[in-house]
Amino acid sequence: MTYQAGLFNGKRALVSGATQGIGAVIANHLAALGARVTAIGLGKGDGTLGAAVEVKEANVTSAQSLDAALAGIDRLDIVFNCAGIIQRGAEHDLEVFEKVLAVNLTGTMRVCTATRERLKAGGGCIVNTASMLSFFGGGLVPGYAASKGGVAQLTKSLAIAYAADGIRVNAVAPGWIATPLTQALQDDPARAGPILARTPMGRWGTPDDVARAAMFLCTPAAAFMTGVILPVDGGYMVS
């Protein structure tokens, strides 16, 4: 951990899509820095969430499910939107395409809308999860690329709309991160090679890399930042 212990003492945080992967790592980082964290997602998780994190089952595509998970949470200081799916190849099927958008884009908007009043009381912040594919197309993932491009523009739009409420809205845009979602790519030298060759830092990113950068957007040091899409990509975009 690279931040001061107790940085988020007294803060109340919600992380969607937090029962596994990057979301779980972000929830653990927030808790380690003193925040009281509620993680929502499908199922109870993959066992990586720390004991200090409260876990509630919720589906971001369902307003009823989300409202039930938020019941009893009167105020929030930090909201992270990490819920997301990718269905490589299958996303050319319109039904699958719509499902990906429903989770990644509409789900993000649903969480932002549902938590706005809770954040307003304390001038909190929202951090959404965009992607490198917010900026580049992907032949196998039209739904994922379109949804993450939408998240980037949604972040900018809500930054404008929520500013009067004292709520900052930013996003992180992870590059090629070593998670179960990218395992097939990691295991295929023919596909992994060009990715690493284009990445100046020459390695896959880790969920910790994303979490540490994301934490910054919630700190007082970022108090004059809103509408930012922060790449966490090892320099992939500039190569």
State the helix-helix crossing angle for 142-162 and 94-101, rounded to 10 degrees. Answer: 30
% of the chain at pLDDT higher than 90: 91
Residue-level pLDDT at 46: 72
For residue 225, what are the contacts with CB-CB under 8 A and spacing of at least 6? 168, 170, 217
Residue-level pLDDT at 33: 97
Arithmetic mean of pLDDT over the chain: 95
Residue-level pLDDT at 2: 79
Catalytic residue set: 144
Question: The tokens 């090892």 sit on which residue?
Answer: 234
Mean pLDDT on 78-106: 97
Query: 162-214, pLDDT tens digit by residue?
Result: 999 999 999 999 999 999 888 988 999 999 999 999 999 999 999 999 999 99
Mean pLDDT on 68-97: 96
pTM given for the model: 0.96
Residue-level pLDDT at 78: 98
Residue-level pLDDT at 225: 98
Indicate the range of 36-45, 53-62, 93-102 predicted with least confidence: 36-45
User: C-alpha distances in angstroms, 70 versus 45, 64, 138?
Assistant: 18, 10, 35
- The band of 227, judged by pLDDT with boundaries at 50, 70 and 90, is very high
Mean pLDDT on 123-152: 96
Which residue(s) pair with 12 in the sheet? 36
Which residue(s) pair with 14 in the sheet? 38, 79
> For residue 91, is pLDDT > 80?
yes
Buried b (16+ CB within 10 A) or exposed e, 163-202: eeeebbbbbbbbbbbebeebeeebeeeeebeebbebbeee
Mean pLDDT on 14-38: 96
Buried b (16+ CB within 10 A) or exposed e, 118-132: bbbebebbbbbbbbb
Counted residue by residue, the chain has a size of 239
- The band of 81, judged by pLDDT with boundaries at 50, 70 and 90, is very high
- The band of 87, judged by pLDDT with boundaries at 50, 70 and 90, is very high
For residue 93, what are the contacts with CB-CB under 8 A and spacing of at least 6? none
Domains along the chain?
12-179+206-231 (3.40.50.720)
- The band of 1, judged by pLDDT with boundaries at 50, 70 and 90, is low
C-alpha to C-alpha distance for 81 and 115, rounded to whole angstroms? 11
